[in-house]
């Protein structure tokens, strides 16, 4: 059994996704810093969960080679 090239590529894609997502969210910190702390909490909880959404198809592709 030969190792698949999809797993290292998928891991790099996941790390890139996390990095880009963090940069995007941090770029809004000046605006969000002025919000009430409860609004900030909701924003960061939601954005902390939303980045997981594209992982399911990516992980499926890493395992099977199919997006669906």
Its pTM stands at 0.76
Q: Please provide the DSSP assignment of 32-46 as one string.
A: HTTS-HHHHHHHHHH
Q: Give the pLDDT score at 67.
A: 74
In a domain, 2, yes or no: no
In a domain, 1, yes or no: no
In a domain, 36, yes or no: yes
In a domain, 67, yes or no: no
In a domain, 23, yes or no: yes
Domain count, the chain: 1
Q: Give the pLDDT score at 1.
A: 62
Tens of pLDDT, residue by residue over 2-61, are: 668 888 999 999 999 999 999 999 999 999 999 999 999 999 999 999 988 888 889 888
Q: Give the pLDDT score at 21.
A: 92
Q: Give the pLDDT score at 3.
A: 66
Rounded to whole angstroms, how far apart are CA atoms 19 and 63?
Answer: 23
State the alpha helices, DSSP H only, in the chain: 6-27, 29-32, 37-50, 55-64
Domain range for 15 is 7-62
């Amino acid at each position: 059994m030969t190792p698949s090239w999809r797993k290292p590529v998928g891991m790099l894609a996941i790390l890139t996704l996390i990095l880009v997502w963090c940069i995007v969210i941090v770029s809004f910190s000046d605006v969000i810093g002025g919000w009430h702390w409860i609004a900030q909490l909701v924003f960061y909880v939601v954005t902390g969960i939303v980045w997981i959404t594209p992982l399911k198809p990516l992980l499926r592709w890493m395992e099977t080679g199919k997006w669906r």
